[in-house]
Copies of this chain bind each other. A is one copy, B any other.
């Protein structure tokens, strides 16, 4: 049981209708590792930061038992920075700033003892880098890859090559439509599966998530949230809960993929309740189990006591 996470570590400046944080700890690898850490320890992280990355952020990761051997520090460089502003309904956001900084020349180097990781979760980074990670892994049992519209539009051919190499791709609904050029989500999922991944997961925000495997479609509900403070990192927290549960349970059956999607949704729901990574740093396992059960209650219904076949 082992999980390798590769992605970005960032300093985020985020504005939502509820407030603003500056240079908060962020990045896909950060969110994925923190979420996955509730399921498997230690999570092996590979990424890069500059000399300006706060020691407090390192401490948060260490306290969550994240293995930082694969974290490259470029003392003279600046950490990746992202800044965004969410609209009043939190479903739309404007990216105000993206500074790649040390990420521009990042060459992921997987430490020797991490090359046999059983589950690999590739955060949302350049598909070329995702591939270079995969090239260094020996016989992974499951590879999971996140991506976004930026790569679908700007690096389509490269992304297509990466998709041929992974088992699971996680995208949101608009990205699935963009990638497949098909408005119907069920058909879009099939078309994306045709590009390589055996399993496609489509995140639909407030509408839940769809899991499509060769043999079934599973529809996971969204947790009914009246107060979303900051959607940043929700997709990464989803990927972390999903990959973390699979790495822990070491069961890749359709039934267990469903549970993994619900654990992903569970971690995403905690993530958006607070700013930055705050929603992921102080959870109890009982809270996670309670929310998993709330997801079950939310979507559970029974057969009728009598069948309506003779009205």
| Chain A interface residues toward B at CB < 8 A | 37-41, 88-91, 183-187, 190, 204, 206-208, 210, 216-222, 224-226, 228, 245, 248-249, 255-256, 258-259, 262-263, 285-286, 288-289, 292-293, 296-299, 301-304, 306-311
Contacts and interface: CB of A to CB of B under 8 A. Distances in A.
A249 B304 contact: yes
Contact of A40 (B41, B91, B299, B311): B311
A253 B201 CA distance: 34
Contact of A308 (B187, B220, B288): B288
Contacts of A292: 303
Contacts of A307: 289
A88 B187 CA distance: 14
Nearest to A186: B224
Q: Which 9 A-B pairs have the closest CB atoms?
A: A89-B183, A219-B221, A207-B207, A285-B309, A258-B301, A186-B224, A299-B299, A217-B224, A187-B226
Contacts of A40: 311
A308 B248 contact: yes
One complex includes copies of this chain to the number of 2
A226 B301 contact: no
A289 B307 CA distance: 8
A91 to B, nearest CB: 7
Contacts of A299: 218-221, 299
A190 B219 CA distance: 24
Query: Most chain-B CB neighbours within 10 Å: which of A91, A208, A286?
Result: A208
